[in-house]
Amino acid sequence: MRSATVLRKAGERALSNRWSAIHNALPLSHFLTDNYGRKHNYLRISITERCNLRCLYCMPEEGVPLQPDSHILSRDEIKQLASIFVSQGVDKIRLTGGEPTVRRDIVEIVQDLKSLGVKELGITSNGIALHRKLPLLVESGITALNLSLDTLQDGKFMTITRRNGLNQVLKSLERALELGIKVKLNCVVIRGVNEDEILAFVKLAQWWPIEVRFIEYMPFDGNKWELNKVISYKEMKELILQKHPLMVHRDHKSGETAKVFKSPDWVGSVGFITSMTDDFCSDCNRLRLTSDGNLKVCLFGNEEVSLRDMIRSNVPKDEILEVIGEAVKSKKEKHAGLDELKTMKNRPMTLIGGHKLTHLNEKGEARMIDITEKQVTSRMAIAEGFIRFSNDLSIAQIEDNSNKKGDVISLTRISGLSGVKRTSELVILCHPLPVTKASISIDVLQDINSIRVECQVKCDGKTGVEMEALTGVTVALLNVYDMCKAVDKQMVIEGIEVVAKRGGKSDYGSALIEKSKM
């Protein structure tokens, strides 16, 4: 009895805290409104990459390479970033992972976020370790649970998750219902795996006050996604209607990801998340913060910007808000279609690019950035690029120095260095920089019939030397093209990118810089 009383009081406190937060909610700022008028009041924060399952649709059986702990947002950084979003009108936060319950300070993180005064503070969990922690999490501020469960059969649970644990998940579901928090049960439906259990899951919605949500199988890096494994929302709905003809579509709520259905004889409801066959982008209100502190404006997008690096560099809040605003404004009207999603890399560590950013003024006119107030730091950048030949003649001439125009390697190196020095003349908005050192290295890659050019640039200045490194690589590759075009009309220049940079707000590729000779 005492245990039941404790659970009931924890649930009552969570409900009271939620109503108080609703009453005191802040208006949404323009930083969180995109170019299509969508207002983003919902932030999903991944607090860990780690997980205690190996679900076949989520990651390889051997797991995935994890980042060093130093790359993951600390408790204080999570609160600091969350407070920025809440100050602009975010009123709903959900903690995700990996599996968030494997993080040791999750209770303290929940307490921190509760103190910010959001309307709803949720958690997405696989339920393996949740039942032991849930009462304290609810007492600390959790008001909603999304529980992942793809099968109700022991053997199949082992097949899907590559681990045991169905009973623990069901305990977590029971505990959540005892506590009285809002529960959604997420089931990823995969043809040939668990579509035969759809009606069994519907029974849970008949009996309990939960929303059972069937999710169309989606592609993510490493999950061996295949289109023929996708069961569409319409196919699932027709199957359920045969057994439950009174099921009707409930009115859609703005920002809701699921199409929700009810039946008069159900205590709960059934929802369908239709990312693959019928997107819900038009009223999307969600932003994502990855465990390493990158802002991701679309689940299916491949563009991110590091807020962690800005926090660690003590960038003022107003500057961080400008970056957030630019990222939100860059959000596309809708995510990619099926053809693009099949091949898209879902989680590359790249920065946002190709949108209206700081080189445009309020009127959309080009301008040079004012760097007067920036501090001089030691800057370095490394860029690389490739030229791929369509035959063996160019490589042969380069190696035996028989090209009629001269020594390709030497002239390419000189051309690249010339490009570095003339970057501000060629790239019109670049500041002239006092380059202190530059080098061009050239590798002949016979196995792939290509040449790789790498450019390293250093300077002591107020802005980075990425453009100098990129220009050096590009001009060097153009020189190779010019000198070899007589014997190869189908060369391809490709893969030009910055692979490392140091000295600014968003450094990366430190291992490459340490290996460099500069």
**Please, what is the average pLDDT of the chain?**
84
Same domain for 293 and 431? no
Same domain for 323 and 467? no
Same domain for 328 and 395? no
347 falls within a domain: no
Name the region of 39 (left: φ>0; alpha: ψ -120 to 50; beta: rest). beta
Compute the distance between CA of residue 440 and CA of residue 472 in angstroms, rounded to an integer.
8
pLDDT band at 356 (very low <50, low <70, confident <90, very high): very low
Name the burial class of residue 43, with classes exposed (0-12), middle (13-18) and buried (19+) by CB atoms within 10 angstroms of its CB: buried
State mean pLDDT over 64-77: 88
357 falls within a domain: no
Amino acid at site 420: V
Instruction: Give residue 171's pLDDT.
Output: 96
Instruction: Give residue 438's pLDDT.
Output: 94
284: containing domain: 2-152+159-341
| CATH number of residue 77's parent domain | 3.20.20.70
pLDDT band at 1 (very low <50, low <70, confident <90, very high): very low
Say whether 34 is catalytic. no
Task: Single out the residue of 38, 28, 40 nearest to residue 87, CA to CA.
Answer: 28
Amino acid at site 193: V
The percentage of residues in the chain with a pLDDT greater than 70, rounded to a whole number, is 82
Tell me: pLDDT of 352 over 50. no
Tell me: pLDDT of 360 over 50. no
64 falls within a domain: yes
Q: Are strands 286-289 and 294-296 parallel, antiparallel or unpaired?
A: antiparallel
pTM score, whole prediction: 0.62
From 279, 314, 341, the end of a domain falls on 341
Is the pLDDT higher at 13 or at 273?
273
Give 193-210 pLDDT, tens digit per residue.
899 999 999 999 999 999
pLDDT band at 222 (very low <50, low <70, confident <90, very high): very low
For residues 366 and 427, the answer to whether their CB atoms sit within 8 Å is no
Catalytic residue among 279, 283, 482, 507: 482
Q: Per mean pLDDT, which range of 220-234, 393-407, 494-508 is the poorest?
A: 220-234
Instruction: Give residue 343's pLDDT.
Output: 44
Instruction: Quote the DSSP letter at residue 74.
Output: P
Tell me: pLDDT of 3 over 60. no
For residues 157 and 135, the answer to whether their CB atoms sit within 8 Å is no
Give 432-458 pLDDT, tens digit per residue.
889 999 999 999 998 889 999 999 999
Give 457-473 pLDDT, tens digit per residue.
999 988 889 999 999 99
Same domain for 180 and 70? yes
Same domain for 136 and 255? yes
Amino acid at site 458: K
> Is 423 in a helix, a strand, or coil?
helix
325 falls within a domain: yes
Tell me: pLDDT of 223 over 90. no
From 341, 369, 403, the end of a domain falls on 341
The 3-state DSSP composition of the chain as helix, strand, coil percent (nearest 5) reads 35, 20, 40
End-to-end Cα separation, the chain, in angstroms: 70
Same domain for 329 and 471? no
Same domain for 272 and 405? no
Instruction: Give residue 345's pLDDT.
Output: 46
370 falls within a domain: no
For residues 50 and 102, the answer to whether their CB atoms sit within 8 Å is yes
Tell me: pLDDT of 22 over 50. no
213 falls within a domain: yes
Total structural domains in the chain?
A: 2
State mean pLDDT over 231-252: 92
73 falls within a domain: yes
Same domain for 327 and 440? no
Compute the distance between CA of residue 347 and CA of residue 231 in angstroms, rounded to an integer.
24
Give the dihedral sign, CA 508/509/515/518.
negative
From 297, 314, 341, the end of a domain falls on 341
474 falls within a domain: yes
Compute the distance between CA of residue 363 and CA of residue 88 in angstroms, rounded to an integer.
25
Instruction: Give residue 418's pLDDT.
Output: 94
Same domain for 418 and 506? yes
Tell me: pLDDT of 23 over 50. no
Give 92-110 pLDDT, tens digit per residue.
999 998 899 999 999 999 9
Same domain for 139 and 227? yes
Same domain for 179 and 297? yes
| CATH number of residue 492's parent domain | 3.30.70.640
Same domain for 453 and 309? no
* CA Rg value for the chain: 27
